Homo-oligomer: A and B are copies of this chain.
Amino acid sequence: MPKLWNDTIEAHRNAVRAATLDAAADLVAEHGPAAVTMSQIAKATGIGRATLYKYFPDVDTILTAWHERQVRSHLDELTQVRDRADPSERLDAVLTAYAVLSYQHPRFELADSLHRAAHVSQARQHLHTLIRELLVEAGSTGDLRTDVPATELATYCLHALGAANALPSKAAVHRLVAVTLSGLRR
């Protein structure tokens, strides 16, 4: 087959995959993960059940793929925040963005098995490295405490800011970021 034809098929497949993940996420948000079936997902996506099975063997695989996409998009967002920010405000900007993401996307119910999935520990590692590098960079300008290794400070930041998903408002999230940042200072 000509390359163009293959590209078209590939684009179509990607669109079906993306629409399936969106539909599944909506259904889970509405009914909870235990109540969602392949038939419902097929219907909501607007494709046949048999077609859906050509893409995904079961609901869990769909939700894992959705979660993987979600995690990747959050990492991309944080990387963009870092790249856009002024060097002197980079750490602040990334930590704030991370806290806001934690606030807006609390771990959802079926997250237990997902949170053990390989893509999650990779993403967590990636995020830890991103924060650690920002801390090293900020440390070189002299504003941060030097009595604690950057890798431990990164672990502290990620845990402390994870509290955002338990907070009642965005104002509280910004206060949390301020408290966490002041723990990092000399």
Contact = CB atoms under 8 A, between A and B. Distances in A.
Nearest to A179: B183
A126 interface: no
Nearest to A163: B159
A35 B159 CA distance: 31
Contacts of A182: 145, 182-183, 185
A170 to B, nearest CB: 13
A143 interface: no
Contacts of A181: 183
A2 to B, nearest CB: 50
Given A112-B112, A155-B166, A155-B167, A160 B148 contact: no
A158 interface: yes
Contacts of A178: 147-148
B148 A175 contact: yes
A32 to B, nearest CB: 13
- Chain A, interface size: which category? 20 to 34
A158 B113 CA distance: 23
A39 interface: no
A121 to B, nearest CB: 12
A172 interface: yes
Contact of A152 (B145, B158, B172): B172
A162 interface: yes
Nearest to A168: B152
B160 A180 contact: yes
Contacts of A75: none
A176 B155 CA distance: 9
Nearest to A183: B183
